[in-house]
């Protein structure tokens, strides 16, 4: 069953290709949605996909790309948006 998650990632997550790497991960896991930088220095992601793929994606978000220093990840479930693909904003 498809789920929609709002994911907010805090730490050293901007300027290190976090969003671009998240897009690659999402596409590999058949996840749609988007990632954007927030003014507070965090990265905000909306992700939709099968639960087991979202679980793998969240595990990745807690680590991020090699230069990331993830401090915390906040996840909320939300209503499906049926995104056609994964975008970076």
Instruction: Please write down the HEC assignment for all residues of the chain.
Output: CEEEEEEEEEEECCCCCHHHHHHHHHHHCCCEEEEEECCCCCEEEEEEEEHHHHHHHHHHHCCCCCCCEEEEEEEEEECCCCCCCEEEC
Q: Report, as residue numbers or ranges, the catalytic residues.
A: 19, 37
């Amino acid at each position: 069953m498809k789920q929609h998650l709002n994911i907010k990632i805090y730490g050293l997550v901007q300027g290190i290709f976090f969003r671009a790497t998240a897009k690659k991960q999402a596409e590999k896991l058949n996840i749609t949605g988007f990632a954007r930088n927030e003014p507070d220095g965090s990265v905000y992601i909306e992700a939709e996909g099968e639960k087991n793929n979202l679980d793998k994606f969240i595990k990745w978000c807690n680590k991020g790309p090699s230069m990331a220093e993830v401090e915390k990840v906040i996840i909320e479930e939300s209503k499906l948006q049926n995104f056609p693909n994964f975008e970076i904003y």
